[in-house]
Amino acid sequence: MYAAGIDVGSTQTKCIVLDENRNICGRGLRMTGADVMKASRQVFEQACELAGIETHEVGYTIGTGYGRFRVATGDDQITEISCHAKGAVHLFPKTRTILDIGGQDTKAIRTNERGEVVDFCMNDKCAAGTGRFLAAAAEVMGMDVSEIGPASLQSTQKLKITNVCTVFVESEILNQLGRGKKREDILAGVHRSIAGRSASLLRRVGLDEELTFTGGVAKNPGMLDAVRTRTKLQVNASEDSQFMGALGAALFALERELAGANRQEVQS
């Protein structure tokens, strides 16, 4: 028995295939592009191929993410917040709070031990304090986004970056550089400033037990460190952090499939 979850995000589409013991046996990933249906079909086929199964062996599929209603093979749709919570609690069972920093938005989710959403809160209006902000900072420094996290960890002097606004941060960074401040110190300040903003979002849903960090920015070690320092919590991040939504969707799908099978057994 197999089940799949497909997460259609604004930039990437991801798929996870699970076997009946909840083991991940296939992953699929590609850019979403203009044709959502096609993207979802392709990641699904890719994941099945990796799992070494035929697509028809997958008994139940759930779509999530902004394009969830256009998943070609979906049996049902579930919001990405529910899926992130489900995936995070599956990988790190003590997770009660989830921080998801993506390119355009930051989400704080509180969950219970069943992986159900208890509360949810999102940055509103602008991209302040999101992945977009980090990208802007990297650009001003003439660095690649993947370099700024490790660089920030080299910092030796505490320096305060007050702006979280993507537009104004540029001039603040240039200003600091002009005053002869070190790159790594400025970058550490940038990471701390995002962590601070995320923490206030997290506090609105409540900080509890362990925090799991998901979304693209969770790959940045500088951010992980800054969030850990700021929240003083155990902070988890998985290699699969960008697949968290798809994983949650696949878990929902598997539970549905198992429940359906049980029901049939009882009836027959």
Rg, C-alpha atoms of the chain: 20
Select from 45-53, 116-124, 138-146, 176-184 the region that touches another protein (CB under 8 A).
116-124
Residue keyed to tokens 């209603």: 69
String of contacts with another protein for each residue 69-88, x by CB under 8 A: ---------xx-xx--x---
- Select the residue interacting with another protein from 124, 158, 178, 180 (CB under 8 A): 124
CB 203, min distance to another protein, A: 12
254: phi then psi, degrees, rounded to nearest 5? -65, -45
Asked if 259 interacts with another protein (CB under 8 A), we say: yes
The answer to the question of residue 31 lying near another protein (CB under 8 A) is no
The residue among 182 and 256 lying less far from another protein, judged by its C-beta, is 256
Asked whether position 119 contacts another protein by CB under 8 A, the answer is yes
Find the part of the chain contacting another protein (CB under 8 A) among 5-13, 109-117, 128-136, 194-202: 109-117
Q: How far is the CB of 100 from another protein (least distance, A)?
A: 12
- Residue numbers of the site for another protein (CB under 8 A)? 78-79, 81-82, 85, 112, 116-122, 124, 252, 255-256, 258-259, 262-263, 266
